[in-house]
Amino acid sequence: MLPAAHKRYLATSGADRHRLQWLGCGAAVAAELALLCWALHLFVGWPQAVGAAAAGSTGALPLTLLVTTRPRLLPQVDRVLVHIVSVAGFSVVVVGVYIVTVIGLGRAPNHADRTALGLSMLAAAVTALCYLPLRGRLNEMVNGLVYGARNPPEDVLRTFGSRLTRAIPMDELLLQLAESLRKTMNLTSAEIYTGSGEFYERAASVPDRGSAILTIGDRERKVLTGAGVSGTAWVTVWLPALLAEWPGAQIRVAPVSHSGELLGLIVVDRPTEGDAFTAEDERVLTELARQAGLALHNVQLDSALQAGLDELRRQAGELRASRARIVATADAERRKIERNLHDGAQQHLVALAVNLRLVHDLITEDPSGATEMVEALADEVKATIQELRDLAHGIYPPLLMDAGLIQALRAAANRSPLAVEVEAGDGIGRYPADVEAAVYFCCLEALQNASKHAPGASVVISLREEGGGLFFDVTDDGPGYDAAAAVQGHGFVNMSDRLGAIGGSVRWESQPGQGSAVHGSLPL
């Protein structure tokens, strides 16, 4: 029956579960009253009609059912049920102890013993009820007698553990830890160092001693991480720098570490003539160092996560700006192509159409004039074809598509007003169209910048493939420039966007009077 009721209880929720809990309260009260009636009858002979009294205790059930009809009282059942079950459990323990002590070890009480036994049971119940509220004050009084004005060392463990669950800055948390250590362990001073690698900074000290840097080598760091809480003799050998600040003092050093990495130190001291550090003190320091190590490790993780998020935000911002620039550039290029077609090839074609109509009219009237005009039209057709080729070359060079990157760059070098040399490393062949186009137009951009800012300079374009990537360099021996200012230029932005769209990167190097260089790379 009980397993079935428990299964039904677990399947309920909300108001239905509250009603079952109130019913459980009534059953617990009824059982408690029945137990008390039976115990009193056994030990003091009252009530005489124990069966009727126990049956009367079941009146608690309809009372709790009546409570379930009040919606405002339903949610209060949790606290009530906890207290009732606690009192019922205490009653079972008390009755069991009396049965074992009085009847099991002694004898059944007679009429003369029942009054004294009843009073002793009443005294035990009153004592138990009064001890709970007095327990806290008794502990404070005893701690005051044993530890004086300070708290027991276990308090710092409890308070530091509770502070870790709050959103307290690490600097403040470490300062509170140092203050608690000095107060609870009767220390002269308490200090906490934090850091990584060879350098550890004093993050908190009580009393305040300002900032300081402690240098710990690799060998000492490995020994310190696995040493546990160490005393003055150990510090003399491995951390002698600490003794300069505490001459003639008892020192304890607890390494703050996590996963074998030293993250800091807890350093405490007492006067030589003061109380010696006990095993309990060292246990508290060890546990505090472990908790502090976990907290510092979490701070490192938070910092790394925040740095990663900041980097992602920066990259997302750059990506949005790059996309906007690419869209704007594409629109501008389309307008440029439309303008070039309208002002160039379209005008040639319109002129050809007009001249063709004139030739048609002159064929019968002036054949010789028509022949001369046809020859002139042939030259205009060639000029139109060349202009269309030049326009197509600016959009996407046919030579790049047909012959590849090296031939297209050499053709561009021949068209440049500068002396340009193209150097290709071993293994340079054909690549995906987007890779070849990115490298070609970046080199073309660098050549145009060199023509504009370094007239008369010599330029070298070099290509090489290594480590799973394609690298290119465009160097010149011109007058150079301020590379930091050029990073914001239109040409650099175009190259960065073009290479960045397919996972590549570009950087510029130059100093006034020392020429310039553009270095780009693309993953293959």
Q: Do 237 and 275 fall within a single domain?
A: yes
Q: What is the structure's pLDDT at 470?
A: 93
| Surface-to-core class of residue 501, CB atoms within 10 Å of its CB (0-12 exposed, 13-18 middle, 19+ buried) | middle
Provide, rounded to the nearest whole percent, the portion of the chain with pLDDT above 90: 6
User: Which CATH number do you get for residue 164?
Assistant: 3.30.450.40
> How far is the C-alpha of 18 from the C-alpha of 79, rounded, in Å?
12
What does the pLDDT look like over 164-188, one tens digit per residue?
Answer: 656 677 888 888 888 888 877 878 8
**Domain end residue (candidates: 248, 268, 299):** 299
Q: Do the beta carbons of residue 202 and residue 214 sit within 8 Å?
A: yes
Categorize the per-residue pLDDT at 422 as very low, low, confident or very high, splitting at 50, 70 and 90.
very high
**Domain end residue (candidates: 299, 328, 344):** 299
The answer to whether residue 334 sits within a structural domain is no
The answer to whether residue 51 sits within a structural domain is yes
More confident residue, 258 or 76: 258
Q: What is the structure's pLDDT at 485?
A: 66
Q: Do 418 and 517 fall within a single domain?
A: yes
Q: What is the structure's pLDDT at 331?
A: 62
CB within 8 Å of 16: residues ≥ 6 apart: none
Q: Do 215 and 277 fall within a single domain?
A: yes
The answer to whether residue 431 sits within a structural domain is yes
| Surface-to-core class of residue 77, CB atoms within 10 Å of its CB (0-12 exposed, 13-18 middle, 19+ buried) | buried
Categorize the per-residue pLDDT at 148 as very low, low, confident or very high, splitting at 50, 70 and 90.
very low
Average pLDDT of the residues in 393-422: 83
Average pLDDT of the residues in 285-310: 85
107 pLDDT more than 70: no
The answer to whether residue 393 sits within a structural domain is no
User: Which CATH number do you get for residue 413?
Assistant: 3.30.565.10
Task: At 225, list the tokens.
Answer: 């991480």
Q: Do 256 and 140 fall within a single domain?
A: no
The answer to whether residue 338 sits within a structural domain is no
Q: Do 159 and 141 fall within a single domain?
A: no
Q: What is the structure's pLDDT at 149?
A: 42
pTM over 0.75: no
Q: Do 124 and 171 fall within a single domain?
A: no
Hey, is 274 helix, strand or coil? coil
Cis ω before 207 (30° cut-off from 0):
yes
Q: Do 87 and 169 fall within a single domain?
A: no
Q: What is the structure's pLDDT at 481?
A: 79
Going from the C-alpha of 345 to that of each of 210, 335, 357, 359, the distances in angstroms are 79, 15, 19, 21
What pairing do the DSSP bridges indicate for beta strands 419-424 and 458-466?
parallel
The answer to whether residue 381 sits within a structural domain is no
Q: Which domain holds residue 477?
A: 400-523
Q: Do 208 and 107 fall within a single domain?
A: no
Q: Do 188 and 117 fall within a single domain?
A: no
What does the pLDDT look like over 339-370, one tens digit per residue?
Answer: 666 556 666 676 677 777 777 777 777 777 77
**Domain end residue (candidates: 92, 125, 146):** 146
> How far is the C-alpha of 66 from the C-alpha of 455, rounded, in Å?
102
The answer to whether residue 169 sits within a structural domain is yes
* Number of separate domains in the chain: 3
Going across the sheet that includes 419-424, the strands are 419-424, 458-466, 469-476, 516-523, 505-510
The answer to whether residue 227 sits within a structural domain is yes
The string over 397-425, giving b where at least 16 C-beta atoms fall within 10 Å of a residue's C-beta and e elsewhere, is bebbeeebbbebbbbbbeeeebebebebe
More confident residue, 421 or 11: 421
Average pLDDT of the residues in 438-466: 88
> How far is the C-alpha of 44 from the C-alpha of 115, rounded, in Å?
7
Q: Do 203 and 114 fall within a single domain?
A: no
Q: Do 197 and 260 fall within a single domain?
A: yes
Q: Do 245 and 182 fall within a single domain?
A: yes
